[in-house]
Amino acid sequence: MTAKLIHQARWNEPVVMEMGVAGRRGVVFPQPETDAAALIPAGMRRRTKPALPEMTEHDVLRHYLHLSQQVLGMMGVSLFGTCTMKYNPRLSEALGLRPQMAEIHPLQPAASIQGLLEIVHNFDLILRELSGMDQFVFQAAGGADAAYTHTCVTRGYFAAKGELEQRNEIITSIQAHPCNPATAATAGFKVVTLMLEENGYPSIDALKAALSPRTAALMINNPDDMGVYNPQIREWTALVKQAGGLAFYDHANFNGVMGRIRARELGFDACMFMLHKTFGGPKGGGGPAVGAYGCSAELAPFLPKPLVVKNSDGSYGLDDDRPQSVGKVREFLGNLHIVMRAYAWARAMGADGIKEAADLAVLANNYMEKKLLAIPGVARSNPEAKTWRMEMTRYGLGPLKEETGLGVVEVGNRMTDYGIDAPWLSHEPWVVPEPFTPEAGELWSKEDIDLWCEVLAKVCDEARQDPELVRTAPHNAPIGRVDSEAPEDPARWATTWRAYQRKHAATRARAAE
Amino acid sequence: MQRLGVIVNPIAGMGGRVGLKGTDGPAILARARELGAEPVSGARAARALAELRRLGPAVLAAPGSMGEQACAAAGLACEVVETGEATGAAATRAAARAMLGGGVDLLIFAGGDGTARDVLAEVGTQLPILGIPTGVKMHSAVFAQNPAAAGRVAAAFLEGRAATQEAEVMDLDEDALRQGRVSARLHGVARVPQERALMQAGKSGAAIPDEAALEALARRMVTEMQPGRLYLLGCGTTMRRIKRALGFAGTLMGVDVALDGRLLAADVTEAQILRLLDQAPATAILGVTGGQGFLLGRGNQQFSPAVLRRLGRENLVVVAGQQKLAALDPACLHVDTGEAALDAELAGYIAIRTAPDRSAMLRIAA
């Protein structure tokens, strides 16, 4: 494939709230035999009808189909870093949608969901094998929730030891995912941040200076978003243990090391996997996710409850009798349909397949790096770091911006004209000028990676030849550029139709004239 | 239409290439010319102004080589202000005065720290200013990274895409510099447009901006202060937040001492600090200079070696915003107390307070 301009659909339809016509119906229900309104207590009846658009089912379907055609929808080549974009096999989707999975009630007795509990337990065993931990729990509804689980477990563990008042600090790094400092603070800990040094990770001396009798835990990614694996990690966890703290491995970036390292063997007390990215579950759109949290036997009493356990008679049950548990971080057992999909993925891949996927991902990322660094205008984070990048890596268009005045935002906008989703930029704080963070996992073919890099190279070239074209991009999308200020301006932001009508009455009136 | 003021210091930067560490004063300029220095400032200014051509702003420029020529080179039409007979720094100041009176929305100037001081002296915080870096010394935070970036930030501001924030104007003492001593002073605070970083929304929320974090930290630190203990509060805007949280205006460019929640002594000298240290235990609270990452020896020489030895490293508290620290490249701090042995003792990791309950470990370079 070579880079070609695309053209997106532009339907020019109003928002659905403005599309109704009085009297139209999606479904015409038969008249009830009794007075249905009387079934609702008088005090709870609506006085006015909800202001919903009256539409036919066909109109609604057509409208939403059109909307879906107006976005790229991450359906092209999307090397969207930190997300580990993976194909979600249709087979796993079909399993997740089976009625035995999709239609169970969260309060159903354990005896009636034995098959499901068996899957949860068996997947727990798979993750124990991959991490060396002694128990997993799937309650957390995402990576940040799993990090929060860790801060709760840390709190419970030190409270039980009578050290919580003394141990009130959690150490993390400036390029650990921001959920680590955020959840530490939410759980009431002080946050000590380590900065990256020349080789792309914090120095061991910085860690030593940060450790003290106040240290409760270290929360760290490895590799972090720079893609550099910290080879001193065993020494790190040993130092944390010596200081009396717990070491937590945020395994959000597990993809490059799957099956190659085990968190427990590296000295970690707990870790977290993201089933919705690394394990092939669907992600994006803020939809259901799972942060699988696993820990050592020493920390297990503090895990959220209930735990799925295998009874001595071979049946499966829910263990709710856990007096030291931190309670709940999410309702019921978590998003089990994602656990189901991740289990299907792991079984389909097998232990060897998982290792091979990790190797392919590292290979793909390094192949991509060769191509990216050949593009004038692209710089790499920590250029001095000599080691191979394992995962997504932070690059920057600083040199291009110096030269042309155009940076990642303009370049990303223009890339969409070629059907490539704008790349993920960077978590905060931005330590690389004009950052972008592509990740080529095992999903992407050589041709896909070639195409992505070719589009970037082409847009960088356009930035030099015809800067105005790039500055005003995108040109082939239904909407040029969204006003980035409005969502931050209380006078203009509107998350409901009612708020929109109220705040934008004047604009709407002008438009109507 | 938005109005832009343009001032070029045509001799800025001339001392640099011939190793004179600055071009302040006629004698140094003559020496620079003797050594073969060529003017560079006008061309760099034109490079910045070219970024504004597509906007076609109304421009008020200083005459001749002080702005008019750079505008012409960049293809910008301009109206020229009167500066009379003045030359050098006086001409810069006269032009800045005229632009303040002429109602410009932004004053862009090309020069170094000396030029920034002259502009600041006239306009203060009444008018946003922005420096095109063309000088030798540029320790002030009013300068863009390079001429093109200055032009783009100015364009963003005139198009309403940039807000202003306070930035420190610093200058080194050139005579001391030529004698091998680095001595910097903070000369004041200007309002400078800052391009809003175009953050990617949605996947991760915005971090706490430094300003909010430091404001909250200042209030927290006041509640933590111990009775009977002296707090020596350093220079700069970060320290001013703590001074204001304590309830006094404070000296922006000097060291103030607080005791029991009140101002004990304002703008103290080294000798005054040493006398106070005889009376009570003390903690010094210091900021970090942006860009360079200096903790000591830039604008706060009141913290002399004698003072620092009396205080001890454990009684130094450092405060800086996390974004400011993240922007340091490499991520380390510097001290320049004037005594190499003391600098070496201060080297090593130190926890910098960045927000209430948040700190960052940074290395003080040896």
**Domain C-terminal end among A348, A379, A394:** A348
- pLDDT category at B206 given cuts 50, 70, 90 is very low
**A159 and A299, same domain (yes or no):** yes
Which residue reads 């309403």 in tokens? B160
Question: Cβ separation of A405 and B148 shorter than 8 Å?
Answer: yes
> Based on the domain organization, do B36 and B175 belong to the same domain?
yes
Q: Is the dihedral of CA B97, B102, B105, B111 positive or negative?
A: negative
- Domain match, B20 and B136 both: yes
Q: Report yes or no on A123 lying in a domain.
A: yes
A 64-83 residues with CB below 8 A of B?
82
Q: To the nearest whole angstrom, how far is the Cα of A176 from the nearest Cα of chain B? A: 13
Q: Are strands B129-133 and B162-172 parallel, antiparallel or unpaired?
A: unpaired
For B52, the closest chain A residue by CA position comes to A405
Question: Using CB atoms, which residue from B149, B197, B331 is nearest to A195?
Answer: B331
CA dist A299 and A278 (Å) reads: 24
Q: Is residue A197 part of a domain?
A: yes
Residues B105 and B242 in one domain: no
> Is residue A20 a part of any domain in this protein?
yes
CA–CA separation, A124 vs A339, rounded Å?
Answer: 10
Distance CA(B109)–CA(B9), nearest Å, equals: 8
Structural domain includes residue A327: yes
**Those residues with Cβ within 8 angstroms of residue A295's Cβ, 6 or more apart along the chain or in another chain:** A133, A134, A135, A153, A269, A270, A271, A303
Q: Given A190, A208, A427, which is nearest B204 (Cβ)?
A: A427
Q: For residues B182 and B234, state if they share a domain.
A: no
Nearest CA in chain A to B360: A193
Whether residues B358 and A196 touch (CB distance < 8 A) is answered with: no
CATH number, residue B179: 3.40.50.10330
This prediction has a pTM of: 0.85
A202 interaction partners in chain B (CB closer than 8 Å): 361
With a cut of 80, say whether residue B332 has pLDDT above it.
Answer: yes
Last residue of a domain, one of A348, A377, A402: A348
Flag whether pLDDT at B20 surpasses 80: no
Distance of CA B314 to the CA centre of its chain: 28
Question: Which residue's structure tokens are 């202003």?
Answer: B164
Distance CA B320, CA B325 (A): 7
> Residue A264: which CATH number?
3.40.640.10
Residue of A171, A195, A415, A485 for testing the chain B interface, max B β-carbons within 10 Å = A195
Give the strand pairing for B332-335 and B294-296.
parallel
pLDDT (tens digit per residue) in A387-441: 889 888 999 999 999 889 899 999 999 999 999 999 999 887 788 889 999 999 9
Both B73 and B161 in one domain: the answer is: yes
Q: Identify whether A476 is part of a domain.
A: no
Asked if A194 and B361 come within 8 Å (Cβ–Cβ), the reply is yes
Choose among A197, A210, A429: nearest Cβ to B207: A429
Q: Which tokens go with A311? A: 């009874």
Q: Are residues A221 and A165 in the same domain?
A: yes
One domain, residues B236 and B118: no
The count of other CB atoms within 10 Å of the CB of residue B314 is 7
pLDDT, one tens digit for every residue, chain A (513 residues): 688 999 999 999 999 999 999 999 999 999 888 888 888 999 998 889 888 999 999 999 999 999 999 988 778 899 988 888 888 899 999 998 899 888 999 999 999 999 999 999 999 999 999 999 999 999 999 999 999 999 999 999 999 999 999 999 999 999 899 999 999 999 999 999 999 988 889 999 999 999 999 999 999 999 988 889 999 999 999 999 999 999 999 999 999 999 999 999 999 999 999 999 999 998 865 568 999 999 999 999 999 999 999 999 999 999 999 999 999 999 899 999 999 999 999 999 999 999 999 999 999 999 999 999 999 999 998 888 888 898 889 999 999 998 898 999 999 999 999 999 999 998 877 888 899 999 999 999 999 999 999 999 999 999 999 999 999 999 999 888 877 777 778 888 888 999 999 998 877 777 766
Evaluate whether residue B198 is within a structural domain: no
User: Does A132 fall in a domain?
Assistant: yes
Contact between B203 and A424 using a beta-carbon 8 Å cutoff: yes
| Same domain as B217, residue B187 | no
Residue A480: both structure tokens together: 């040029």
* A116 occurs within a structural domain: yes
Summarised one tens digit per residue, pLDDT across range B27-81 is: 888 887 888 778 889 999 999 999 999 888 999 999 999 999 999 999 999 999 9
How many Cβ atoms sit within 10 Å of the Cβ of residue B30? Answer: 10
Shortest CA distance from B353: residue in chain A = A192
Out of A191, A202, A424, name the one closest to residue B357 (CB). Answer: A191
Same structural domain, A308 and A231:
yes
Q: Is residue A467 a part of any domain in this protein? A: no
User: In angstroms, what is the C-alpha Rg of chain B?
Assistant: 22
Q: Which domain holds residue B269?
A: 210-364
Indicate if B254 and B350 belong to the same structural domain.
yes
Residue B199 in any domain: the answer is no
Residue B204 lies in a domain: no
Q: Are residues A158 and A45 in the same domain?
A: no
Considering the domain architecture, whether residues B141 and B284 belong to the same structural domain is answered as no
The whole-number pLDDT of residue B329 equals 73
Please say whether the beta carbons of A139 and A304 come within 8 A.
Answer: yes
Residues A38 and A132 in one domain: no
Q: Which residue of B has its CA nearest to A198?
A: B330
Q: Mark which of B193, B219, B249 sits at the end of a domain.
A: B193
The predicted pLDDT at position A256 comes to: 94
Q: What is the mean pLDDT of residues B264-278?
A: 95
Same domain for B266 and B173: no
- Domain containing A40: what range? 16-72
B126 and B22 share one domain:
yes
Using CB atoms, pick whichever of A197, A210, A431 lies closest to residue B326: A431
Q: Which two tokens stand for residue B47?
A: 């490079």
- Count of structural domains within chain B: 2
* Best residue in B145, B146, B361 for a mutation probing chain A (most A CBs within 10 Å): B361
Yes or no, beta carbons of A181 and B358 under 8 Å apart: yes
Say if residue A125 is in the same domain as residue A58: no
CB atoms within 10 A of CB A178: 18
For residues B324 and B182, state if they share a domain. Answer: no
Number of other CB atoms surrounding residue A383 within 10 Å:
10
Q: Which domain-ending residue is among A314, A348, A382?
A: A348
Q: Does the beta carbon of B171 lie under 8 angstroms from any beta carbon of chain A?
A: no
> Is B202's pLDDT higher than 50?
no
In this complex, how many residue pairs, one in chain A and one in chain B, have their CB atoms less than 8 Å apart?
86
What local confidence, expressed as pLDDT, does residue B86 receive? 74
